[in-house]
Structure 1
Amino acid sequence: MPDPAYRPAAPGDGRRCPRCGHRVSRYNDARHCSPCAQALRREADSCPRVHESTWAEPEVQSAIAARDFGALCRLVRGHAQLRQEDLAELSGLSQAFLSMLEQGNRRLTNIDKIIDLVNGLGVPAQLAARMFGRPG
């Protein structure tokens, strides 16, 4: 499928790959050169993800309802088989902070950081609403 930002190259135009700066073949209708396009696909495949089935787990839902972010992180990591570094990449929180949060040595109280965590983990909207509503 061609890239929507594609514009045909005029003779001598010399379209350039935005990632590496090398010339893109006039026969390539993608935005990036072939090596960069392959690398981007590999990077996208290796991004950590939280599987949808994680949110159906009763203990995960209980942690959300209780606003227990340490337990939530620990449970999500266990179900999704993620490392703390993966969770840090998803949430924008540091690995060190996540470690202290999971151990109960720190609390997450900053609403902006809570939203970053919720969005980064991909918490479904109906479960996130429980977190910001009245405790069950």
Structure 2
Amino acid sequence: MSAVRSTPTPADGTRLCSLCRCRLSRYNREDVCSGCSRDNRQTARSVPTDIWQLPDVRQAMVNREFGRMCQLIREHAGIRQDDIAAITGLSQPFLSMLESGTRKLTNIDKIIELLDGLQAPPELTGPILRPRTHHQPRTSAPTALSPY
């Protein structure tokens, strides 16, 4: 929340946004309107790494409850669904449905996309849910063929 500054008010007592001078809602306790607040907000580019140490986030990840996991991450990190969408590549409407339980995340590519964007630690995801990089072999090293 932004600090409360003295915002000049017109003669009728309404408060104005300190940035764009539009009329503030009587329910808005801030000194800026929601539009200016959104514009001035720094969009999250990553999830704090310590978020994965929280027991409820870890449990949701272990249980593969991706909607619950996203919701907990947002709540603990103080970020919006738009922020999660920006860092994962998934759409905000899809994330909303995922969190509400309306949709389930079953596509392995989308799961990998989500976990990679959230920078989930490998000890929680396991090797199958991590994106392959070009230096990781697809299979084990080839063995010598038997001459028989």
* Fold match by TM threshold 0.5: yes
Distance 1:103 1:47, change over 3 A: closer
Higher helix share: 1
Distance 1:131 1:64, change over 3 A: farther
Q: Equivalent residue for 1:49?
A: 46
Q: More relative contact order in 1 or in 2 (CA 8 Å, sep 6+)?
A: 1
Structure 1 residues not aligned, in runs of 5+: 1-44
Measured against aligned partners, the alpha-carbon deviations of 1:65-120 in whole angstroms (never above 9, x if no partner) come to 10000000000111111100000011111000000000000000000000000000
CA contact (8 A) 1:70 1:101 kept: yes
Q: Equivalents in 2 of 1:99, 1:46: separation in Å? A: 18
SS in 2 for 1:85: helix
TM-score of the two chains, using structure 2 as the length reference? 0.56
Q: Equivalent residue for 2:58?
A: 61
What do you get for the CA RMSD once the two structures are aligned? 1.8
CA contact (8 A) 1:49 1:80 kept: no
- 4+ long deviations beyond 6 Å: none
CA contact (8 A) 1:48 1:82 kept: no
Q: Equivalents in 2 of 1:46, 1:97: separation in Å? A: 19
> Does 2:119 correspond to 1:125?
no
Question: Of 68, 72, 75, which aligns to 1:75?
Answer: 72
CA contact (8 A) 2:43 2:83 kept: no
Question: Of 92, 100, 103, which aligns to 1:103?
Answer: 100
CA contact (8 A) 1:77 1:84 kept: yes
Larger Rg: 2
